[in-house]
Amino acid sequence: MTTVRDDRIRYEGAPLSALLYATRGTYTAAVRRAQAKLGLVDVPASGEFILNAMEWSGTPLESIVKFMGVSKQAVSQSVEMLVERGYLERGRDPSDRRRVTLSLTERGHAAGRAGKAAIEQIDRALQARVGRAALGHARSVLAALLEIKGKAGASDPPGKA
């Protein structure tokens, strides 16, 4: 039987880029499973990130798109599908009637809550395996990688106070 510690040693020499690539869908898969348990199986690509960020922090879509590092046009199809499928609703900004706002519907809140719970479950499992300090170091490493990518200062992550 292989222990968690043995697995970590096996991956010790692996390039960080390979580990990041291999784990890239961990959170997304968990979120999609949690949403599917509620019958919410029609969230489009990148939609789960948008819904989770809006539910988690109340962050406006513009800030989420900026943090994702993509243009509004790049997520417009996902947003349109989220509206059509009842996860988001359009409204008018009361201070500027020309501006369209997007907010979560009850269905969107349910998907976001399910996503948040799935993310927190993975975070707890990670902390149980590696400890709080190591998880904090991992966040620091990923933040540094964002800085290298050129995102630092562009936008705080959704949920950042």
Residue ranges per structural domain of the chain: 27-149
Q: Does domain 27-149 have CATH number 3.40.920.10?
A: no
pLDDT score for 157: 58
Element (H, E) at 15: none
CA distance 161 to 159: 6
Nearest C-alpha neighbor of 55 from the set 72, 42, 43: 43
Q: Provide the whole-model pTM.
A: 0.79
Question: 3-state DSSP call for residue 60?
Answer: coil
pLDDT greater than 90 at residue 104? yes
Under 8 Å between Cβ of 67 and 60: no
Q: Where does the pLDDT of residue 158 fall: very low under 50, low under 70, confident under 90, or very high at 90 and above?
A: low
pLDDT digits (tens, 9 = 90+) for 108-145: 999 999 999 999 999 999 999 999 999 999 999 998 98
pLDDT greater than 50 at residue 2? no
Alpha-carbon 111 to chain mean position? 12
